[in-house]
Structure 1
Amino acid sequence: KNHAEIDIVFVGRKYAIESERTLSYEFKGCLERKVSFRELQAGRLTRLITKSSALNILRVPYGFFQALIILLQENPSHVISFGGYIALPVAFWSWILQKPVFTHEQTMKPGSANKLIGFFSQRIFVAFESVLSYFPAHKTQWIGNPVREVVFTQTPPPFEMDTSVPIIYITGGSLGSHSINQHVFALLPDLLSSFTVVHQTGDVKEYGDFERSIKLKREFKKKYPNRYIPLAHISEDDIGGVYHRAEFVVGRSGANTFFELIALQKPAVFIPLPWSANGEQKAHADFFKEHHIGEVFNQKNDRSILLATIKRFHENVTRYTNSFRSLPLQLKSDATQTLVEKILHF
């Protein structure tokens, strides 16, 4: 926003779930910001062979062809990657076409695609100091992870919440999580007796979780008014207010959530995505647990364990919050500015 002369073209998935044409988080974000968007239908290689994975493999050559067309049409002066199978064909052809590639590795455990992208990149930036060893030293720099400015705002969200009891924010990530939602729905009678629950469900049509959450809200409205607030998504205008009012967070442990919660010194009960690339979410969750700023719940376990963990967490939340003071991880607050300056002055 400080460089109006720069034109940005975002390359990514238009649909988060292709089968039901659910628009992706990144596509909706580009629409809101009026950023040009080019859809790329890249495939990925997986260890499990299923009908879905077979179709994915067939998309691999198509994704490389599509990426080449996009680069020839857009003719960018710089290419910035945040990793993953979508970015790989773009980075490859940028390298072939001799366009400078810059990549940022957000996780504790770089996957195969990101290591390949690192080979094609002129400069590699990493969020964790421990990740420096995964890439060539001469072109790798530890800068931290960009954190959205909006998470620091404290504007009250546009919905009523019962503040007479502690507030917990439960989230399954940008798409929501059916597994987490199932646990939450079953635990609502117990949770609402002690907490106000802001529940980001996602809106995947296949499961109908958001519709179910609205029905449950009506059922609990008389006994627990304004204690259950289900939302398909939480806008950037509201996320800071939700974070600020929540005593702690329950949800996935992606890199962005990891760094936002550390920046806010907000403890969490993490439910890592079991099949996240290279076990990155498990690594993030384990970090929180090892440093006494969070706990970890395996989504395959009985939900009674999750309920007990949440209640115990609330009882000891002050101790978890105070543990941020002794956190060994140095959080670089200027990651966004550093990333932009390094790219523009390359």
Structure 2
Amino acid sequence: MLHESDLTPGLANKLSLPFARELCLTFPDSLDYVKGKGRVTGTPIRSGLTRGSKDRGLRFCGFSANRPTLLVMGGSLGAAILNQTIRHNLKGLTKCYQIIHLCGRGNLDLSIKNARYFQLEYAQEELPDLLAASDYVLSRAGANSIFELLALAKPHILVPLSRQASRGDQILNAESFAKQGFSLVIQEEELNLQSLQHNLDLLEANKERFTQRMRESKVSDGTGNILRIIEETAGE
């Protein structure tokens, strides 16, 4: 049995598929690429993510509960375009939002002094609390990250890695989530203060609709679905 996180199968799964009984898929659209052997399960989600505390997260950042909080996630190495866009426009953005910025290893900027801006290279044990404290999320579109946002029904904007820097899997991931009504998407080449503010306004105006669509999803956490398939197969 195999599992594919991204929308299109990677090389390892393409090579292994002829020898596998079943391929567990993260996205419904992936069925088009796997004739006869695919089943949509979603992707496993770390159980601890659902046990975060909003109050603990706000205290950790020194933030207030009276202002909306935006969490910016660029992955463990950060994302230069996200870091630049947020920091170059920090004064305007923090008029409306408190910002938690996971900027990636080696990307802290200690020259920034703003009470509504909290930066970390990355978060481990604090991540559930930071997610709970956040009203909105700006993120890359890796499969694991976006399915964690789906499992938490957290309103978000995705900025997928460009085709120049990848095989285009994040673009397809983001397009699938947008088509299902889960996400707003800004292509990396189009990210600037105007596009970000426009999409944040849309996200805030339609927060309940996005949240409801995510809560209605049947594949937000694939752990149970995958375990059931393993048990079915073992019992035969």
Matched, 1:284 2:186: no
Structure 1 residue identity aligned to 2:66:
S
Structure 2 residue runs of 5 or longer lacking an equivalent are none
Deviations 1:271-299 (A, max 9, x none): 01113654221122223333333211122
- 1:290 & 1:127 partners in 2: Cα distance? 15
SS at match of 1:244: helix
Structure 2 residue identity aligned to 1:125:
C
Q: CA deviation at 1:145?
A: 1.1
CA gap 1:152/1:120 in 2 versus in 1, 3 angstroms: same
Greater relative CO (CA pairs within 8 A, separation 6+): 2
Structure 2 residue identity aligned to 1:215:
S
Q: CA deviation at 1:132?
A: 3.6
The total of aligned residue pairs comes to: 229
Matched, 1:179 2:73: no
SS at match of 1:215: coil
- 1:297 & 1:129 partners in 2: Cα distance? 22
Residue 198 (structure 1) aligns with: 100
Matched, 1:238 2:126: yes
Q: For 1:55-66, list aligned pairs within 5 A.
A: none
Residue 297 (structure 1) aligns with: 186
Indicate if the aligned counterparts of 1:150 and 1:239 stay in contact, CA closer than 8 A: no
Structure 1 residue runs of 5 or longer lacking an equivalent are 1-101
Indicate if the aligned counterparts of 2:52 and 2:129 stay in contact, CA closer than 8 A: yes
Structure 1 residue identity aligned to 2:196:
L
- 1:269 & 1:124 partners in 2: Cα distance? 29
Question: What is the alpha-carbon root mean square deviation over aligned residues?
Answer: 2.7
| Residue in structure 1 matching 2:213, options 323, 327, 333 | 323
- 2:191 & 2:74 partners in 1: Cα distance? 18
Q: For 1:16-165, list aligned pairs within 5 A.
A: 102-121=1-20, 123-135=22-34, 137=36, 140-155=38-53, 156-157=56-57, 158-165=60-67
Give the % identical residues.
24
SS at match of 1:307: helix
Matched, 1:306 2:187: no
Q: CA deviation at 1:175?
A: 1.8
- 1:306 & 1:131 partners in 2: Cα distance? 29
Q: CA deviation at 1:152?
A: 0.1
- 2:176 & 2:85 partners in 1: Cα distance? 24
Q: CA deviation at 1:199?
A: 0.5
Indicate if the aligned counterparts of 2:8 and 2:169 stay in contact, CA closer than 8 A: yes
Residue 227 (structure 2) aligns with: 337
SS at match of 1:311: helix
- 2:35 & 2:180 partners in 1: Cα distance? 29
Q: CA deviation at 1:306?
A: 1.5
Q: Which TM-score applies when normalising by structure 1?
A: 0.59
Structure exhibiting the larger radius of gyration computed from Cα positions: 1
Structure 2 residue identity aligned to 1:248:
Y
